[in-house]
Chains A and B, each alone.
Chain A
Amino acid sequence: MAELALSEVHGRRTGGRRLRPTLWWLVTPAILFFVLFFLIPIASLFAISFDKGAQGVITFQGNLTLDNFARIFTRSLYYEAVWRSVWLGATVSVLCLIIGYPLAFVIARTLRPGAALLLTILVLASMQLDMVIRLYGMMVLMGDNGLINTALMKVGLISAPLPLMYNSFGVIVGLVQVTLPFMILSLVGAIKSINPSLEEAARSLGSTRWHAMRTVTWPLSLPGVYAGTLLVFALAISSYVVPALMGGWKVVTLPIHIYQQIAEVGRWQFGAAIGVVLFGTSLLAMAVYILALRRQAGGRM
């Protein structure tokens, strides 16, 4: 169901028509680009993660070892970061779902198309500004001398600034801000594809608005829920900028470790190994999620 979910959000699967050989040249540039700038770098990082540590060396030497991985899983500094990343990703996914669902419902079901368009533009507009600029904006708001703390102290509600930033709270707020549009767009697509007559049928059979939402709209929007939560989870768990800026290096996630190892210590082999663990963790978490959903759906999906 969840795999299907992703494809459904991005439009119905087209019948598998064979690509004619004469059309292959149309996809060649994209494939070349993908191989050169994605597959090769990722493969080489994967390779050097099994290489013996050597400061400043960035190419594969062939000194095969599992030391880098052993280090990650024996030192609490690193394996706690794995857990922290997963926990942050899961929390952000759930928060995005809770905040995003009502808005997505309104956008998908609002009566006037103009109002829906306006809301969609607002959602997309928040994605137009560069993430770093948006995060600096949030720092202005949430810092010790930021707008929230200054205002609360002026009113006299608090005497010392609340710790809104440079902790998990700040990172979670930042990640939700960055990933929420992806959740909303996934959900809007899914809710829009539900025939409104279904909700009306439920109403005329005796459902209240809330009951119809719970028994008809929600279960039928699950493909979008799955797609949105998986997307947000993947984005959150791999985010470097948000934990760096909003966590102030105090909330150390896997991407922070990767950056430190590669950019500051120059140990590409160990940084690459953390990268492989991050990738593996992300895949594993998604697999667990999908399997749990399958079990819960009891084979119906």
Chain B
Amino acid sequence: MSDIRLDQLTHSYGETRAVDNVSLSIAEGEFYSLLGPSGCGKSTTLRMIAGFVTPTSGRILIGGGDVTRLPPERRDIGIVFQNYAIFPHMSVAENIAFGLRLRKVPRAEIDTAVEGALAQVGLSGFGDRYQRNLSGGQQQRVALARVLVTKPRILLLDEPLSALDKALREEMKFWIKDLQQTLGITTIYVTHDQDEALTMSDRIGVMRAGRIEQSGTPREIYEEPASLFVTTFIGQSNVLDATYAGAEGPRAAAMVEGRALSAELSHALPRGSAAKLVIRPENVLMGPEAADRNLTQLPATVIGESYQGAMVRYRLRLGSQELVAERQNQAHLARWRPGETVTVGWDPGRARLLPAD
């Protein structure tokens, strides 16, 4: 059963549609990420769900009830902001007690609940501190404790990790995900960071220009991108000019540099139309690895090599186009120098034919 449903949600600032006809269903206990570049409408969508922005049209349902016209305080949501928004004039304990006081919880119960919440986020004994004496990571935990202690139905997280340094971000990623799973709380997570979205989410909605371009599991988003935007925004992709030459069994035949290659196809394309063949750098095999006859095989010239520790990246020339391959840096694998010719290949199931943007 869906816990949150967005029904043709739209928000316009004058002429521009910041959020354009977004429909979405999120299941109870699901961790859903809205991922996209800045200005794609992900934050506005979150703020509409929270009740800070009124939709121009469309509906928001939480637990089956229409909350579109309800003020924020009556939506049963908790939100953690990018800047944590810890009340600076209250101690940590007062911050956490804020929501409980509003709910007229008896004094003694509040104290117990605050202790419990502090323990849950690993900040026991921090109750008397003030925001100015807390690190970014600690403020983050206080913000979560303050929200979770009120047991909201929905947890909204607005880029909560972007103000933290890299090491802490890695740690918090898993910590938040663990906490979310323990509590089983339905969560919407807004981020522009694909790593965060891929590691933490049950499902991801990739947004562009106010629309959800693709909604799916991290694996679907990464391996079965629905558009060129998705495949280039999430991770890296080689995008080769191609022409659709018609169906070939379950797959499509595409003409690339005068050769017929086979690739996955999920869109209806008119025969002979211009398209793009996309293949991830880690799926491009070279030399002996590419020897299997079931693979798509092409001759290429190495034009650049860059050493990246665990990986080696090769820039390859393929006719008039360029291709990047990323190979593991392991002793048993061969290395190539610029100028050498090499056979490259890939599993046709890993290549996709997408309509040109």
User: Residues of A with Cβ closer than 8 Å to B?
Assistant: 195, 197-198, 200-209, 211, 215-216, 219-220, 300
Contact = CB atoms under 8 A, between A and B. Distances in A.
Nearest to A216: B87
A201 B82 CA distance: 11
B85 A200 contact: yes
Interface stretch (B20-28, B98-106, B292-300): B98-106
30 contacts: A195-B83, A195-B85, A197-B81, A197-B85, A198-B85, A200-B50, A200-B79, A200-B85, A201-B79, A201-B81, A201-B85, A201-B143, A202-B98, A203-B51, A203-B71, A204-B51, A204-B73, A204-B147, A204-B156, A205-B99, A205-B146, A205-B150, A206-B99, A206-B103, A206-B150, A208-B71, A209-B71, A211-B102, A216-B87, A220-B89
Report the 6 A-B pairs with minimum CB-CB distance, sorted nearest first.
A205-B99, A197-B85, A206-B102, A201-B85, A203-B72, A197-B81
A197 B52 CA distance: 10
Contacts of A201: 79, 81, 85, 87, 143, 146
Contacts of B73: 203-208
Contacts of B103: 206
A225 to B, nearest CB: 13
A75 to B, nearest CB: 47
B41 interface: no
B309 interface: no
B77 interface: yes
B88 A220 contact: yes
Contacts of A209: 71
A195 B143 CA distance: 15
Interface residues of B, number: 26
Given A200-B50, A200-B79, A215-B98, 11 more contacts: A202-B98, A203-B51, A203-B71, A204-B51, A205-B99, A205-B102, A205-B150, A208-B73, A209-B71, A219-B89, A300-B89
Interface string B61-79: 0000000000111010111
B200 to A, nearest CB: 21
A275 B81 CA distance: 54
Contact of A197 (B83, B98, B99): B83
Contacts of B89: 219-220, 300
Contacts of A216: 87
Interface string B88-113: 11000000001100110000000000
Nearest to A203: B72
Given A211-B102, A219-B89, A220-B89, A204 B78 contact: yes
Contacts of A204: 50-51, 72-73, 75, 77-79, 147, 156
Contacts of A200: 50, 52, 72, 79, 81, 85
A205 B77 CA distance: 8
A153 B150 CA distance: 60
B15 to A, nearest CB: 15
Contacts of A300: 89
A209 B156 CA distance: 20
A205 B150 CA distance: 8
B184 to A, nearest CB: 20
B12 to A, nearest CB: 14
A219 B51 CA distance: 24
Contacts of B102: 205-207, 211
Contacts of B71: 203, 208-209
Contact of B87 (A198, A203, A206, A208): A198
Nearest to A301: B89
B317 to A, nearest CB: 51
B73 to A, nearest CB: 5
Contacts of A208: 71, 73
Nearest to B156: A204
Contacts of B72: 200, 203-204
A200 B83 CA distance: 12
B278 to A, nearest CB: 39
B335 to A, nearest CB: 51
Contacts of A220: 88-89
